[in-house]
Amino acid sequence: MLVVVDTNVMIASMARQSSVAPLFRAIAKGEISLVISAGIVLEYEEIAAERGGAAFAARMMHWLSLVAASWGTIQEVHPSYQFRVISSDPDDNKFVDCAITADADFIITRDSDYAPLVGSGYKPQPIAPEEFIARYLKP
């Protein structure tokens, strides 16, 4: 299964006691594949640094590189087209463009701005992290 993970969910998943920590563990073990783009990685790094400092951002980037090297389950894409699906927060379009380009199954997010994807005809659909965990991850 190929997923794109919204920044807030990715950062929350890194906290061991978080309700979405199983997502982090599944990515870390190579149980699901993560798709990213340069824009997504830059946002992950920027927001991680804002919330947890430079050391936290560096750990997050190191973790991504370890998962990619260990399992090969992180796919980087380079979207060449902007689909402009989200008008309420255009910055979120980087996640949509990445997901559509990679033919991902889901965008894991809590953000209601992704609602225009539902029933839009594009394969990637938004899903809340708790719902994804309940449906697709082993307990």
Specify the CATH number for the domain of residue 12: 3.40.50.1010
The tens digit of pLDDT for each residue in 93-120 reads 999 999 999 999 999 999 999 999 999 9
> Minimal CA–CA distance to 95: which of 125, 63, 65, 132?
125
State whether the Cα torsion 77-106-6-60 is positive or negative: negative
Q: Is the pLDDT of residue 139 over 90?
A: no
Round to whole Å and give the CA distance between 22 and 20: 5
The residues that bridge with 4 in the sheet, in sequence order, are 107
Site of tokens 């991850």: 137
Residue 93 structural domain: 2-136
Burial 41-61 (b: 16+ CB within 10 A, else e): eebbbebbbeebeeebbeebe
Q: Would you state the pLDDT for residue 78?
A: 98
Domain count, the chain: 1
> Minimal CA–CA distance to 21: which of 30, 31, 33, 11?
11
Q: Would you state the pLDDT for residue 138?
A: 78
Contacts of 74 (CB under 8 A, 6+ apart): 33, 34, 35, 36, 64, 67, 68
Q: Would you state the pLDDT for residue 13?
A: 96
CA distances from 113 to 13, 32, 96, 127, 131 (A): 20, 24, 11, 12, 17
pTM of the full structure: 0.96
